[in-house]
Amino acid sequence: MDVISALQFLKLHEIPQAWVDAVWDVEFTESRPMGDAIEEELLASGKKTFRNLYQCLLTHAAEQQSSGRHEGSQNIWALLGENGMTVKSLVAMLSFFVLAGKTKAASVQQRVVGLHAASLYLLLLGIPGSITNKGFHEVLFDTCLNLTSHYWPQDCGKKRKKDNLKTSQAEVKRSKPHRREIQEMGVDEEEEEDELHFSGQDLMQIRNAVVLLVHSLLKLLQTFSLKDIPQSASNCTQIFSKLLYFEPVIEELNFSFGQDLTNLRSIPEMAFYGLQLLCSPKHGDQKESLRRVFHHLLYVILMMNKGNRGRPILLIPSQAILDIRDQAIHFVCHLVNELKELVLPFLQILLQHICIQMVEKNEFRTHGAQAVGTLISHMANTDYACFIKWLFKFSRHSKMVCRLFSVDVVMVLLGQPERRPEESQDQELICFLPHKFLIHNLLFVRCHDHSPTVQGHALSGLAQCLELPSLNATRAVHNLFSSSGIQTVLQEETAEGSTSSQHTQKTFRTLPFRTVEISSTDNLGCDAKDNLAVLLRRVQDSKTNVRKSALQALVGLLKHDVIPMSQENLSVLSERCRDPNVSVKKKALQCMGELLTAKPECSVVQRAWLQGVVPAVVDSENSVQEKALEAINQVLLSQVKPYADSCHMDGSQKLTWDLLGLLCNECQNLSQYFTQAFTILSKQNKFTLTFITNLISHTDAAHAAGAWLLLSKAVSSYSEIPYGKILDAWDSMFSSKDVSTTTCCHILCVIGGIATHLNEETKERIIDDLMSELKTFTLSLEVISTAIETLYRMGSSEDISKTQEFLNHHCGELVSVCEAYISGIILSESGAQNLNEDLMIKYLHTLGVASLHCPARVTKRMVLLVESVLTTHSDKLADCQEEIPASLPLSQFKASSLPTRVRAHGVITLGKLCLQHEVLVQKYLPVFARELEVSTEVAVRNNVVVIMCDLCVRYTNIVDHYIPNISTCLRDTEAVIREQTLIMLTNLLQEEFVKWKASLFFRFMVALVDPVPAIASLCEYCLLCLLLKKNPEMFSQYFIECIFHFNSYSKHKSYNKFPQSEREKAKFSLKGAHQREKRFRIYCFLLEHFTDAQRFNITNKINQNVLACFADEELPLDADGAEILSETFRILTLKEMKLQTMTSPPRGIAGEEPEEENMAKAVLQAAQKKVVSEVQKKTFIENTVPLIISLKRQLEQKRSPVLKDLMAYLQVTMQDYRNEVKEFFTEDELLAAEVEFALREAEKRFEMEQQKENYSLKGEPKTFTAQSSVQGCPVRSRPRFPFSFATPQPPHPAPLYARQTQTESRCVHIRSRQRVRDQSIIVERTGGVNTRAISTPKGFSINLTFDEGVSAIFSDQRTSLGEESSVLHVQSHELQLPGLRQWNVQSPLFKKKKH
């Protein structure tokens, strides 16, 4: 079939010329109607006819091309003219089918026909003479290109809702979601398709038609130049970028395309070929083509959907999206290999824009960093060094995600082989090649970032560096922390570089695909000791992720011997096992396990592991308990194997017995936790008969102490075990004197554990042995307690009466022996002189322990004897044989001449006697309380505190009256007693044996300002982590009363009315100006942990209960009242008193600009702030202002100095309402004028300070060295860096400070005024005007932004990294600094009198 015959179905002869002209007049933007009959007949044409026409044209074009321009050949354009067919008619008719298939309701047939018509049009354009014969129209060409996105159903493959299955013909448009994540690209944001549903066969037809269209486009691009139509070239690039997502690619693509299009099987493969064709010189400036292609591939690599306008939308990173991303990266690498030097500048730009447009999500950052690493591997050393130089500056960008992503890129680059400098390499760029530069100048500096997220990520990366195969990377980390004094580049946390950002803009503007230039500042060095100190502070950081990452980094340094394995460094790790955060505790446990695995033979590591893991078995979080138990089971239990002299223990077994040996000796304080762990494990059936048998085999080894320790915990789990070896060990224990005290206790525990399984004969033998040893009083105190406990187990039975009879007999015998010895010492005149102190203590200890098992055998004489250990009244005892009178008050006794140790043990024994007798408790509590007051012996007072708190558990109501006596010890002269009292009272408050009554809360507050920092810190922990959780309103409930109590003011009708002795008042008083600092430390501590609701309510209560009392003259304005009022105004001025909603900016951490996903939260915070501000303002006007006016008048009448504090309070408060002062104080115009005057004066002072700072900046800036310190700082401050000039930014609510840990923030004084408010621009001297990226009108100041708007393009002829660039500071004409002016200050009172 020839071409003319194939064209007959289009009925070009029947088409009215007017319709053709109308179609051309509207430039193919809309479909023009024809007659209904003609339209129906044309639309009935099938795809077969179009296919035939396409083949005919294709054959004719091939024949014309092969025959050349011979006279016998006739081109298609002449053929059309000879048959009366115009090109305009043919093009108009093809556009009719194209536009018909573009409608939303188009059927499958119409879509397929439209695609074929578009293919025909593109084929016609490829025939020579198409432009000469006016066949090309740019609008129709672009319309045909866009058909791939219009015709393919966008909801294909999506899950539809069941209730929408029958709404395919619905005409109502669905509302578009505000933000959505999509996988398919190419959705036209102007329109949305109705939900039409296609079968698989329908979709295959459309897909084949799309393939034909793309083939036609590729054929066209091979011959047809787009050089003169750059807009169409741009559209082609966009279409090919969208086609990359058309269908998944099954196999890896080969980008070495040939001329044969039949080898291209998938549409994405055709798209890549199209992009490659567009990069050829045929289609215009090759550099501009590369820029255009790379710009579109940028969003493919970033996995984003970039529409015609608006921000890019993140795609769901499915496997198909990841595959296309990988193919795009390989395609870029292919272009780099093919085009070499031509493409390298655009590769740099591509890498820069990948970095600058990266989002915060971890998955996207990971894939982005991998893409950067893959692309940069195709760079030569010089280009690589240039990019690293740019990355170095980029890592100091003010946007957090940029600094975060720079860490990801560094970690990927460190995984690549290190670059070696070349001979012809630029010397200034050589420093950027080694891995050392990446670690020191990019990674480690980010460990000091002001953002916790960046800090944590950089610390994690630092830990990973030690695991890298690169020896240079490991050496670089060693250099940072080695003690050889090597200096490293360390950026100060308060100076993050002079990059600029304008996230406050409401509209989004596309970032031009150009080179992104960033300025940077030089840094100062810091030694290895400071680096380690900073890392240790990071382990105690206030942010969870920072602590976790710092732990990992610290463990890495310890594992690889970068820092010493000292007790100080390891204690930091073990302390984190008790971190308030659960995830940090788990991380610390994991780190301890890793370190123990790496250093199993190090005793310091073993000790730290025990101190960190074992106490975690009693953690309040079950998951932490389970992790600790799992570690104990794995390290201590699973490695117990049968022992023989000839066997060799491996490293794991040796570690197990080393740890058990530490538990028996140096770490005996962990025995309670270890016992709890075995109690839990025994319930989980972790102790098998084989395990116990294996343990018994170790009882003869050198490490037998550890075996007895485990046996003492596990032996009671099974009844049928070989007892013979245990009994042999029992016999050898008595015959040998070399058995340690700890092992004796463990053997006794084992004997007690198997007591129920022994026969009567064996029991009697063991009981006789125990009694004989106990009566010798040669055992240590620990063994005595364990032996009596074992004696109890030997005599215990199901019949309680028989058990008690056994105890009364044997323990009573011990009690009698002790009584006889003690009476001989006490009643003998020379007993005290010939006293054996250690023996006396053993008798007292045995009496106390044995009496707990036989309370009936305790006589009054015995009690009085023990009391006599504390006091001497032997004449009373000599006359009393049977009936002893009640004890006299302690003040009537003479002081005892016994040693302090004996008296201290006597207190413990007397307390144990009281535990079983309530009458004795009532009798001796006054004695104990008096002893707390008059005793000068530390051990005695300490034990009295312990005994009274123990008695409180059993006799709560009786001891409750003596809680004030106990709490008085919080101000004891000895730190050990203050600490013991604090711990004991906290335990009682936790278990609610004691309530917050009377003065107890205020005495706890005084402990917050204890002179010993450790006690103050312990008190803070007890209050915040243990007690405040049980009573969240506790701080606000007692806050106002703290003001009166600590100032010893008792004239208020409600506050500070609880009973106190003068001695107690004097002890806990913080009255006076010399103790004001302590009082305000307490106030600030309380206010810091208020909620905003509590701050708001406490302000109102202060108005009602303090200010109102003075305003109504309920409280006198005498000297004490003036102090209270002055202190109240000072408290109201505290920054901790301000609502957090009002003071915290609606931004990210540390003043960072909010990301897109956080914008809604920022808007909500701003709205909340506005509402709270209105409520606060109303409350202030209605409640506070009348009181202030009244108080001011009273203070003026009395000429009180408190007036200064009142005005200072008003000045601070009215700063937020500086324009509404007259509205607030309408009743007192004079006060309003004074407040305005004070605000103006404060503002003038601030402006003068700013002017001085500005002038100093224009001169020679002061450079702070690493050794300089802030005045008044008790520790060395962090290094400061020179001031740098930067493009002025929109005003932020607060200066961008380096974030410091809680510990650092208390010792480092941060300057409060850092910003320079002068309006200026920065012009860098680069040698000429060629550095300007855009045309700037004269007389206008501009802000050149980094990531939005227009990127500043600077000359490449810049100074090196170590040099300072020349900077010109230009002052704005509109805001020139005024000269010095004369003061013209007039009192507002004088102004009023003139009126």
Give CA–CA dist 410/1283, Å, rounded: 27
Q: How far apart are CA 401 and CA 393, in angstroms?
A: 14
For residue 1292, report the phi and psi dihedrals to the nearest 5 degrees: -100, 155
Q: Cα separation of 1214 and 1230, whole Å?
A: 15
Q: Residues in the chain, how many? A: 1395
Torsion sign across C-alpha atoms 425, 430, 432, 433: positive
Helix (H, G, I), strand (E, B) or coil at 1323: strand
DSSP 876-926: HHHH-SSPPPPPPPGGGSEEP-S-HHHHHHHHHHHHHHHHT-HHHHHHHHH
Burial zone of 521 (CB within 10 Å; 0-12 exposed, 13-18 middle, 19+ buried): buried
Rounded to two decimals, the pTM is 0.72
Q: Identify the CA nearest to 386 among candidates 414, 329, 341, 344.
A: 344
Cα separation, 1108 vs 1099, in Å, equals 12
Rounded Cα–Cα distance for residues 1064 and 971 (Å): 9
DSSP conformation letters of 141-203? HHHHHTHHHHHS-TTTTPPPPGGGTT-TT--SPPPPPSS--BS-----TT---------HHHH
Distance separating alpha carbons of residues 17 and 13, to the nearest angstrom: 9
Query: If DSSP codes are grouped into helix, strand and coil, which group holds residue 705?
Result: helix
What pLDDT, on the 0 to 100 scale, is given for residue 271? 87
Residue where the block lists tokens 């953690």: 619
pLDDT < 50 regions, the chain: 1, 69-73, 156-194, 484-510, 520-525, 873-894, 1146-1154, 1156-1157, 1257-1395
Angle subtended at Cα 784 by Cα 780 and Cα 787, rounded to the nearest 5 degrees: 135
- What's the DSSP call for residue 792? H
Predicted confidence at residue 1383, as pLDDT, reads 42
Q: Residue holding tokens 């939260």?
A: 1161
Which conformational region is residue 1327 in: left (phi greater than 0), alpha (psi within -120 to 50 degrees), or beta?
left
Tokens of residue 376, six digits: 């940069």
What local confidence, expressed as pLDDT, does residue 524 receive?
36
Count of beta carbons in the 10 Å neighbourhood of residue 957: 7
Looking at residue 1228, its pLDDT comes to: 64
CA angle (564, 568, 572) in 5-degree steps: 110
- Neighbour tally for 135: CB within 10 Å: 20
Report the pLDDT value the prediction gives residue 1195, as an integer from 0 to 100: 85
Ordered alpha helix ranges (H), 190-266? 200-223, 230-243
Angle (CA) 810 813 816, round 5°: 155
pLDDT at 505: 35
DSSP string, 1123-1172: HHHHHHHHHHH-GGGS-HHHHS-SSSGGGPPPPGGGHHHHHHHHHHHHHH
- What's the CA gap between 368 and 402, in Å, rounded? 12
Give Cα 631 to chain centroid, integer Å: 26
pLDDT at 526: 52
**For residue 299, what are the CA distances in angstroms to 161, 311, 315, 353, 413?**
31, 11, 10, 10, 22
For residue 1371, list its beta bridge partners. Answer: 1320
Question: How much is the pLDDT for 846?
Answer: 94
